[in-house]
């Protein structure tokens, strides 16, 4: 749905085939991080998420026994680099219904709900080279001719299966336990995540609505079966919130945790996003967040390909490389860190809770907050990012500019920032790129841009090219960052 909305904002129509008729009623992913809020801002639904979710300027990890703060992810510190300097606590059934309402009200998106995708065939020479097959609720078979097929069909993706791909990686030996519980008003503080030091396990709780908390236990004892889960949730709630705090158990789920990723996220015109492409354990809360980021990366590339501007192979292989690398470098290490903590001897976990380890080693750590926020992406090895500069591949900070924020100036094919304004000797070359040109904001100088003369920003706010001279000598690299191979002739520099 995020991808369909992002495409629709760019004027591209799509068809969604969805097996269910109504969204899944369970809370599942309950925390959306700042970068995800930027994605939702770009697809036009941020205000609804702000209205229906709980905004958290801090995500604090606090010791359950005395509520002492062990770690403080302070998103206020990100104010200079994003207008989404908060995490939003919101259950996934609400997230799904906000997206569904937006999908239903957009004439460019056709939703076939209650329909099951059954397969596809490819005829590479055709105008619309993919025939997508699906079955409706009454059992009738249908087919659609499509330009692209995107498998956003979750962990058991049938699209991935038809591609003959598997999710490679590992399954952890421990089983996670999730429970949503209602807590008495006296014990309900809106002030952050709570961690409990268990002898055998590692337990965190996050509040996602008044009085409603998600408890996440990294290793549920093997002897607890499905009919004991509600009672187990009550025991955990009483340990975390106090003996009289538990009111009721709303939902529980116990499952195996995975760290898995497909060896490629695309084959020809068939592409994978979200859980269909990668799976991680719920530790770190990156599952839904990272799937939405896939969609954001892909939307402008499909648009550039469909409009005839960009090179399909280059753009789609860049999607594959960039999002696989984001999973490997940003998502997997976070969840792995929690698993290592879980697997560590009990005394290591106790030490971590004593503020000696977490408190001193990480402190109120901005670096970890930044990673959790997903604002600090690095797509450095992408085939479209060939310019040799450390800034290339990173997200451009959304600094304040006279017109508001920098991101709001980025147009359909991006934005060019020039230290000397257009009209100088490089202006003519830059205008051929077909993107707006603006002055490089002084606020970027404090963020590593001192000495930079020219910057190309991609539509997804990633820095595609940087020049430290005011020449366009490496013009090929700018075009490549846009995914354009057949560039128009430039005026010689």
Ligand X SMILES: Cc1cc2nc3c(=O)[nH]c(=O)nc-3n(C[C@H](O)[C@H](O)[C@H](O)COP(=O)(O)OP(=O)(O)OC[C@H]3O[C@@H](n4cnc5c(N)ncnc54)[C@H](O)[C@@H]3O)c2cc1C
Among the residue ranges 14-22, 67-75, 141-149, 455-463, the one whose residues contact ligand X (CB under 6 A):
14-22
DSSP 433: T
Q: What angle do CA 406, 409, 410 make, to 5 degrees?
A: 100
Regarding 297 and contact with ligand X (CB under 6 A), the answer is no
Buried b (16+ CB within 10 A) or exposed e, 309-329: bbbbebbbbbbbbbbbbbbeb
Which residue's C-beta sits nearest to ligand X? 274
Among 249, 286, 323, 342, binds ligand X (CB under 6 A): 286
**Nearer Cβ to ligand X (122/186):** 122
Site for ligand X in 127-186 (CB under 6 A): 152-154, 158, 178
Q: What angle do CA 153, 156, 159 make, to 5 degrees?
A: 55
Specify which residues 31 forms β-bridges with. 89
Dihedral sign from CA coordinates of 317, 318, 320, 321:
positive
Among the residue ranges 25-33, 197-205, 373-381, 474-482, the one whose residues contact ligand X (CB under 6 A):
25-33
Among 275, 311, 322, 398, binds ligand X (CB under 6 A): 275
Contact 312, 305 (CB under 8 A): yes
Regarding 278 and contact with ligand X (CB under 6 A), the answer is no
Site for ligand X in 402-461 (CB under 6 A): none
Site for ligand X in 51-110 (CB under 6 A): 92
Closest distance to ligand X from the beta carbon of 37 (Å): 14
Dihedral sign from CA coordinates of 392, 278, 270, 38:
negative
Among the residue ranges 63-71, 274-282, 296-304, 442-450, the one whose residues contact ligand X (CB under 6 A):
274-282
Closest distance to ligand X from the beta carbon of 54 (Å): 15
Among 53, 285, 310, 459, binds ligand X (CB under 6 A): 285
Closest distance to ligand X from the beta carbon of 115 (Å): 6
Place of tokens 């304004």: 421
Report the C-alpha gap between 397 and 148 in whole angstroms: 32
Closest distance to ligand X from the beta carbon of 281 (Å): 9
DSSP string of 31-75?
A: EE-HHHHHHHHHTT-HHHHHHHSEEESEEEEEETTT--EEEEEEG
Contact 16, 109 (CB under 8 A): yes
For ligand X, what does the binding mask look like between residues 193 and 232, x meaning CB under 6 A? ----------------------------------------
Regarding 287 and contact with ligand X (CB under 6 A), the answer is yes
Backbone angles phi, psi at 221, to 5 degrees: -55, 140
Among 282, 310, 414, 459, binds ligand X (CB under 6 A): 282
DSSP string of 301-322?
A: HHHHHHTTSS-HHHHHHHHHHH
**Nearer Cβ to ligand X (293/349):** 293
Residues in contact with ligand X by the rule CB under 6 A: 17-20, 28-30, 92, 116-117, 152-154, 158, 178, 253, 274-276, 282, 285-289, 291
């Amino acid at each position: 749905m995020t991808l369909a909305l992002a495409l629709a904002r760019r004027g591209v129509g799509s068809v969604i085939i969805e097996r269910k008729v109504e969204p899944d009623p369970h809370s599942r992913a309950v925390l959306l991080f700042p970068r995800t809020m930027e994605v939702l801002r770009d697809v036009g639904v941020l205000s609804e998420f702000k209205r229906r979710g709980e905004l958290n300027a801090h995500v604090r990890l606090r010791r359950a026994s005395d509520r002492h703060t062990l770690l403080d992810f302070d998103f206020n510190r990100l104010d200079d680099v994003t207008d989404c300097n908060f995490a939003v606590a919101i259950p996934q059934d609400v997230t799904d219904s906000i997206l569904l309402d937006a999908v239903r009200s957009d004439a460019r998106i056709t939703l076939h709900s209650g329909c099951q995708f059954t397969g596809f065939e490819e005829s590479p020479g055709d105008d619309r080279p993919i025939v997508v097959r699906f079955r409706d609720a009454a059992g009738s078979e249908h087919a659609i001719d499509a330009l692209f097929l995107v498998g956003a069909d979750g962990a058991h993706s049938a699209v991935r299966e038809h591609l003959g791909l598997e999710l490679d990686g590992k399954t952890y030996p421990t089983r996670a336990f999730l429970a949503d519980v209602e807590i008495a008003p006296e014990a309900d503080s809106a002030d952050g995540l709570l961690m409990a030091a268990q002898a055998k396990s590692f337990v965190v709780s996050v509040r996602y609505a008044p009085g409603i908390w998600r408890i996440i236990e990294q290793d549920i004892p093997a002897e607890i079966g499905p009919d004991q889960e509600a009672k187990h949730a009550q025991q955990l709630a009483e340990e975390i919130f106090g003996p009289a705090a538990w009111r009721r158990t709303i939902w529980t789920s116990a499952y195996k945790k995975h760290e898995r990723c497909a060896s490629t996220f695309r084959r020809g015109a068939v592409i994978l996003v979200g859980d269909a492409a990668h799976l991680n354990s719920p530790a770190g809360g990156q599952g839904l967040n990272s799937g939405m980021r896939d969609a954001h990366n892909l939307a402008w590339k499909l648009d550039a390909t469909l409009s005839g501007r960009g090179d399909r192979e280059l753009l789609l292989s860049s999607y594959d490389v960039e999002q696989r690398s984001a999973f490997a470098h940003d998502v997997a290490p976070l969840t792995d860190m929690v698993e290592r903590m879980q697997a560590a001897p009990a005394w290591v976990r106790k030490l971590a809770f004593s503020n000696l380890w977490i408190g001193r080693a990480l402190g109120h750590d901005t670096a970890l907050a930044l990673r959790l926020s997903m604002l600090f992406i690095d797509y450095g090895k992408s085939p479209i990012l060939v310019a040799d500069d450390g800034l290339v591949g990173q997200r451009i900070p959304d600094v304040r500019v006279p017109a508001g924020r920098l991101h709001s100036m980025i147009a359909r094919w991006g934005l060019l920032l020039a230290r000397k304004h257009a009209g100088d000797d490089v202006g003519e070359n830059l205008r051929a790129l077909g993107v707006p040109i603006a002055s490089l904001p002084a606020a970027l100088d404090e963020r590593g841009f001192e000495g930079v003369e020219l910057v190309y920003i991609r539509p997804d706010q990633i820095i595609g090219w940087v020049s430290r001279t005011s020449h366009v000598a490496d013009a090929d690299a700018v075009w490549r960052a846009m995914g354009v191979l057949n560039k128009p002739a430039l005026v010689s520099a």
